Chain A
Amino acid sequence: MKNDKSIVVEGVSKSYQLGSQGESYETFRDAMVSLLKAPFRRFAALRGGGGAGDENLFWALKDVGFEIPEGEIVGIIGPNGAGKSTLLKVLSKITEPTVGRATIRGRVGSLLEVGTGFHPELSGRENIYLNGAILGMGRAEIKRKFDEIVEFAEVERFLDTPVKRYSSGMYVRLAFAVAAHLEPEVLIVDEVLAVGDAAFQRKCLGRMSEVSKTGRTVLFVSHNMSAIQSLTNSCVLMSGGRSVMHDETKKVVTEYLNLFRSSSGEDFSEAARYSFELGQKIRIMKIRAKTPIEYGYYFNDDLVFEIELDSKVKKEGLRFGVTIADAGGQGILTTSTACDIDVEEGERAVFEIRLSDTNIVPGNYVMSVSVGEGNLSEARVQYDVVNPGPMFCVCDFDRSGEVLYNWNPAYGCIAHGGAAFNRVA
């Protein structure tokens, strides 16, 4: 029955013109020369009309289609650049699709960013009203929820202080608190839970699951697989601008991780990262999982990684930090190298990291790598952090031949390779 669908997306595509906006000129002279050469071409390009041709079209969304029943909370997952945010922008009416259509039944509230429209000069109190109105709440509604919002945000004392004097934590808490009290019939949420400290994130997740119990339809983008798994029953998997799968969460998450395993590659030179101080000069370029089989390691293999480091400066006493987290983002183990590493200016150095006796349960893992100074017990300074880094799989043993089953409950049942069966007499 089509009647009880609250969101129906049919063949939605969205293209962007590449190159027409990205031009920048190094010098005034360049700009003038170009302007004189082709003012009309430039005019046409800015208009978004002809001149550019189809090869410059980039399809951020291509034929996306799915239906979401009323009252369901559905996750949208997919690697960076899969089109998740563009999809949410289309569904929030911020941008128009190039082709296709979507129908949403019920009042839509969308939350693509916390604190949209916050004005730094205005006080916390004023911003609650302003932001609430921007998110679609009426004045009476905000007034009614005001105390609740303030309590949620824990900013009572600073209500009349301009938010530009807030700590970033307070700012985010206030912004999220307003957003969390939005009560539309259909809620569209981008990755906004990734803010605030751990306690606040727990509070936000709690709020999200409360919302999901009130019968509202929620569309929810996240990279946090444990949040996705605990909040949603079904998920849409996006990849390369297409919706490739819509099924129950567990299956989609598994498929998502497979996608990563086959395509994450090893080149992280352009990956999203945190860089501090020297981070622009000392950069992690590649992280290569040296796996014995195509996509992973067998249980209890040494986990071997090669890290390529590009340094534009001479630096002594560097150390790597490595963290391995499970698919839900929960850290499993962390280490930092004990020896100091020295790099020369302009050097591209390759290091091997070998982790032995990890005893981690078969499953999917994400590695993150940092380079910095100091180790875990001293004060550590990070320069460049690649997180998430490569994804890898720890596999059960090969079950051919004679196997020893390890019934350690923490592992589940693992067929262990350590069995030899020879006739001796």
Chain B
Amino acid sequence: MSGTAASVEGDGGAGVMDREVTLIQPRKGWIGVDWREIVRYRELAFFLVWRDIKVRYKQTVLGVAWAVLQPLFMVTVYAVIFGELMGMGSRVPEFPYAVFVFAGLLPWQFFQSTVTQAGQSLINQQNLLTKIYFPRLFVPSATVGAGLVDMMISMTLYAGVLLIYQQSVSWAVIFVPGLVLLTLMTALGASYLLSALTVTYRDFRYVIPFALQAMMFLSPVIYPVTLVPSEYQWILALNPMAGIIEGYRWSILGQPIELLNFLISMVMALGLFTFGLFYFKKMERRFADIA
């Protein structure tokens, strides 16, 4: 399968010799991504994302309105509970707490919900895995891709919140697309890794929600990173989402950022993406047998 669409030089080749050749044989070790195949199947990737978006709000009364209401409720609850009741608001005197926490929730909500869903995506779609071939990476990727739409909706809402609070926006806002890309890669990396692990070890179905909950408190979502003594902040930065969240606050709100810590998080994010991708490719060949 390594040479899926490889052409074979033909001697005296008429007819079938011109055609693409599929070579099926056992593979060993780590396997690279067949980008040509990904390109060939790109329309399927589009349909899988489209399906996940379409299905999400079927047979609900409010329909897509949920995509707007969910983050609104979430931010309201966080602002009231953490900002007011627990007094976290006083720790961020520079900004209204709602503005502060929403900037953190943008990437975090995306990360949490896509990784939760994508982690289960392979075992939820066993019949696809056992009945038809297509690049398996599409399954968790489609879930994450569909989540991107929700993040865009949240971002639009956030723009509205910034307007209401008359919060000025930093020039660095032009870096937001780059940060979105980094968030996407982190979510994809975690999703590849966890979905592949869940196929083999179903334990992860129970581990993931819990681990994400814990990870949220290890990320500066509801608190500013300055709450952590500065000599320990690099430890926090080992969590890729920590740097990413700080990055959003820096680029949108102009909150100062420790560059080194951000770079640590960025390297962790890229490392997670690469490792997740390769682990997925390594385990992929067994999916159909054990799904």
Contacts and interface: CB of A to CB of B under 8 A. Distances in A.
Nearest to A20: B290
B132 A102 contact: no
Contacts of A133: 43-44, 46-48
A31 B119 CA distance: 24
Interface in B44-68: 44, 46-48, 50-51, 54-55, 58-59
A138 interface: yes
B288 interface: yes
Nearest to A107: B20
Contacts of B51: 119, 122, 126, 130
B1 interface: yes
B81 interface: no
Nearest to B201: A46
A101 B128 contact: no
Interface in B203-249: none
A4 interface: yes
B17 A3 contact: yes
B290 A21 contact: yes
A145 B285 CA distance: 33
Nearest to B22: A104
Contact of B14 (A3, A89, A117): A3
A408 B200 CA distance: 64
A97 B25 CA distance: 6
Contacts of A108: 22
A46 B202 CA distance: 10
Contacts of B50: 130
A129 interface: yes
Interface string A87-98: 001111111111
B219 to A, nearest CB: 30
Contact of A16 (B20, B44, B55, B289): B289
Among B23, B43, B48, B286, which residue has the most Cβ atoms of chain A within 10 A? B43
Interface in A97-118: 97-108, 110, 112-113, 116-117
Interface residues on A, range: 35 or more
A121 B289 contact: no
Interface string A3-23: 111100000000010000100
B130 A105 contact: no
A139 interface: yes
Contact of B130 (A21, A94, A119, A136): A94
A96 B285 CA distance: 6
Nearest to A97: B26
B132 A117 contact: yes
A4 B15 contact: yes
Contacts of B127: 113, 116-117
Nearest to A116: B131
Contact of B55 (A94, A121, A138): A121
Contact of A92 (B44, B132, B200): B132
B126 to A, nearest CB: 11
Contacts of A102: 23-25
B133 A93 contact: yes
B134 interface: yes
Contact of B22 (A93, A100, A126): A93
Contacts of A70: 15-16
Given A100-B25, A119-B51, A122-B54, A134 B285 contact: no
Interface in A148-180: 162
A106 B16 contact: yes
Count chain A CB atoms within 10 A of each CB in B134, B286, B289 and give the residue with the most: B289
Nearest to A127: B51
A104 B132 contact: no
Nearest to A98: B26
Interface string B273-291: 0000000000001101110
A328 B116 CA distance: 51
A48 interface: yes
B91 interface: no
B59 A121 contact: yes
A116 B285 CA distance: 20
Contact of B47 (A21, A97, A129): A129
Contact of A94 (B19, B131, B200): B131
A318 interface: no
B13 interface: yes
A16 B288 CA distance: 11
B177 interface: no
A108 B200 CA distance: 29
Contact of A103 (B21, B27, B44, B47): B21
B132 A112 contact: yes
B21 A104 contact: yes
Contacts of A104: 21-22, 24
B81 to A, nearest CB: 34
A21 B290 CA distance: 7
A121 B58 contact: yes
Contacts of B23: 101-103
A395 interface: no
A134 B134 contact: yes
A98 B17 CA distance: 27
Interface of A: 3-6, 16, 21, 46-48, 70, 89-108, 110, 112-113, 116-117, 119, 121-122, 126, 129-130, 133-136, 138-139, 162, 185
22 contacts: A3-B13, A4-B15, A21-B290, A47-B200, A94-B129, A94-B131, A95-B288, A97-B26, A101-B24, A102-B23, A102-B25, A103-B22, A103-B24, A104-B24, A105-B16, A105-B22, A110-B133, A112-B132, A116-B128, A117-B127, A117-B132, A134-B132
Given A16-B289, A93-B22, 14 more contacts: A4-B15, A48-B290, A93-B4, A94-B132, A96-B1, A102-B24, A103-B24, A106-B16, A106-B19, A110-B133, A116-B132, A122-B54, A134-B128, A135-B132
Shortest Cβ-Cβ A-B pairs, 5 listed? A101-B25, A133-B47, A93-B133, A102-B24, A95-B288
